[in-house]
Amino acid sequence: MAEEKKLFKVTIDNISVEVEPGTTILNAARQIGGDIVPPAMCYYSKLQGSGGKCRTCLVKVSKGSEADPRPMPKLVASCRTTVMDGMEVANITSPEVIEARKGVVEILLLNHPLDCPICDQAGECHLQDLSYEHGVSATRYEFKRRTFDKVDLGDKIQLHMTRCILCYRCVFTADQLTEKREHGVLGRGEHAEIGTYIKESLDNDFIGNVIDVCPVGALTDKTFRFKNRVWFLKPVDAHRNCENPKCCGKTTLWMRGEEVFRVTARKDVYGEVEAFICDTCRFDKKEAKDWVVEGPRNISRSSVISQNHYVKTVKPQETIEKVLDGRKPKLLMDIHTVSEVNRPGIDLSQIEGPAHSDDFNKKGVQ
């Protein structure tokens, strides 16, 4: 009979969970899920040694463990701090953490432009989400920002260092997925930048994954760049029998009609890929016939990408009439009497693909 594993009990924002020893606070929080999961810009569970650099995942350890209940003196990086039995952690319940995170966001945005309207990462950028959640509407930084020209790292990947937040994820990816060191961080301090060794290009057959791991729009796919906004595309899960033994061949196709605009690895709710894919799948297989489509990709409803991708929804039960003893609520104004845009008779979840003005012009539809 196998020996029963001792689990550590950790409480994060007053919610307890039992996890295996060696689990980090971040991963324990991910097991609980929801709002208490700290954000992470540099940690990537699939990359060894990543994390600890961006400082967005800082949390407060208010109780070290059952054995040593003293709190930790400073905020700690949840992605690199392992749990202890009886540990108590405050994330969103700690004003200190929220304040520190706001500070980190402000600092990350000192040099990173908020140019989402033209950035190819808009809609799937973690820094964009973070700045909406923790940022302020204006920066206090009044100095010249650092800017760089765009650089082609090979024929398929473009680096725009201006947007880079030096999370090191792409460096870890290149180091761990490819057979030779492709690129790294050059320079020190504020002068640090991502670069290749004496202008060599990134040409390894797995190097395309640096695009997927980039949390911002610093590394982009040249075969997709500016061809579409991600929220106009329909993500579908697809697979093919890839000849590369290291590639799982399971991808997400970003389609509009029958046209495949982009191929990426499948990402989970934390924006991390489930398995890395090869460059052939990513860059060369852009025909629908190359793929076996499995079905629509399940995208979080809160994501901007889910906009216009209607799935059958269960309408919530109206409770107001019950509460008011059957009386209907008194409306101050019915929007439909003054606007023809929003028609309650049209069920958006019944429309295939993005809604179009034609859908609203159909006869008989009110």
Partner 1 sequence: MGRKLLLDKAHIEGIRYYDVYRKNGGYAAAEKALKSMTTDQVLDEVKKSGLRGRGGAGFPTGLKWSFIAKPEGVPRYLVCNADESEPGTFKDRYLMEFLPHLLIEGLLISSYTLGANSTYIYIRGEYAWIPDILEEAIAEAKKNGWLGKNIQGTGFDLEIYVQRGGGAYICGEETALIESLEGKRGNPRLKPPFPAVKGLWQSPTVVNNVETLAAVVPIINIGGEEYAKIGVGKSTGTKLISACGNINKPGVYEIDMTISVEEFIYSEEYCGGIPNGKRLKACIPGGSSVPILPANLLLTTAKGEKRMMNYESLNDGGFATGTMMGSGGFIVLDEDQCVVRHTLSLARFYHHESCGQCSPCREGTGWMKRVLLNIENGKGKMSDIDLLWDIQRKIEGNTICPLGDAAAWPVAAAIRHFRDEFEWHITHPEEALKRNFGLAHYADPLPVPQPVA
From the list 24, 53, 26, the residue with the least C-alpha distance to 39 is 26
Short-list 267, 266, 268, CA closest to 249: 266
Of residues 144 and 322, the one with the C-beta less far from partner 1: 144
* Residue 113 binds to partner 1 (criterion: CB under 8 A): no
What residue type is assigned to position 21 of the chain? P
Applying CB under 8 A, what is the total number of residues that bind partner 1? 40
Out of 92, 151, 288, 346, the only residue in the binding site for partner 1 (CB under 8 A) is 151
Contacting range for partner 1; rule: CB under 8 A; set: 141-149, 209-217, 256-264, 284-292: 141-149
Residue from 338, 345, 342, 341 nearest 364 by CA: 345
- For position 34 contacting partner 1 by CB under 8 A, the verdict is no
Least distance (Å) from partner 1 to the CB of residue 175? 12
Phi, psi of 198 (to 5 degrees): 40, 60
Segment interacting with partner 1 (CB under 8 A) among 69-77, 200-208, 289-297, 302-310: 69-77
Pick one of 140, 180, 315, 363: the residue that binds partner 1 (CB under 8 A). 140
Of 61-69, 160-168, 251-259, 266-274, the window that binds partner 1 (rule: CB under 8 A) is 160-168
**CA–CA dist 152, 296 (Å, integer):** 33
Residue 72 contacts partner 1 per CB under 8 A: no
* Residue 10 in the binding site for partner 1 (CB under 8 A): no
**3-state DSSP assignment of residue 132:** helix
Facing residues of 60 across strands?
Answer: 90
- Fill in the per-residue mask, 81 to 110: x = in contact with partner 1 (CB under 8 A), - = not in contact: -x-----------------x--xx-xxx-x
The CB-of-287 to partner 1 minimum distance in angstroms stands at: 35
Distance CA 147, CA 35 (A): 34
The residue among 100, 3, 14 whose CA lies nearest residue 57 is: 100
Query: SS3 letters for 313-343?
Result: CCCCCCCHHHHCCCCCCCCCCCHHHHCCCCC
Query: How near is the Cβ of 219 to partner 1 at its closest, in Å?
Result: 14
Segment 271-310, which members bind partner 1 (CB under 8 A)?
Answer: none
Minimum CB–partner distance for residue 349 and partner 1 (Å): 42
Query: Of 109 and 277, which has the nearer Cβ to partner 1?
Result: 109
Identify how many contiguous H helices and E strands the chain contains and give both numbers: 9, 14
User: Phi and psi of 353, rounded to 5°?
Assistant: 70, -170
Nearest distance, CB of residue 84 and partner 1, angstroms: 11
Residues 271 and 44: their CA atoms lie apart, in Å, by: 9
Residue 135 Cα distances to 42, 116, 298, 324, 326, angstroms:
18, 15, 28, 41, 44
Contacting range for partner 1; rule: CB under 8 A; set: 18-26, 46-54, 221-229, 343-351: 46-54
129 interacts with partner 1 by CB under 8 A: no
The alpha carbons of the chain give a radius of gyration, in whole angstroms, of 24
Between residues 143 and 226, which has the closer beta carbon with respect to partner 1? Answer: 143
- Of 19 and 171, which has the nearer Cβ to partner 1? 171
Q: Please report which residue ranges of 153-294 form alpha helices under DSSP H.
A: 169-177, 209-213, 279
Residue 222 interacts with partner 1 (CB under 8 A)?
A: no
306 with 337: CB under 8 angstroms? no
8 beta partners: 19
111 binds partner 1 (CB under 8 A): yes
Query: What is the footprint of partner 1 within residues 187-216 (CB under 8 A)?
Result: 187-193, 195
Provide the minimum distance between the beta carbon of 261 and partner 1 in the complex, in angstroms, as a whole number.
28
Of 80, 239, 250, 256, the one binding partner 1 (CB under 8 A) is 80
Query: What span, in angstroms and rounded, lies between the C-alpha atoms of 28 and 16?
Result: 9
Residue ranges that bind partner 1, judged by CB under 8 A: 51-55, 58, 74-75, 77, 80, 82, 100, 103-104, 106-108, 110-111, 140-141, 143-144, 146-149, 151, 161, 165-166, 185, 187-193, 195
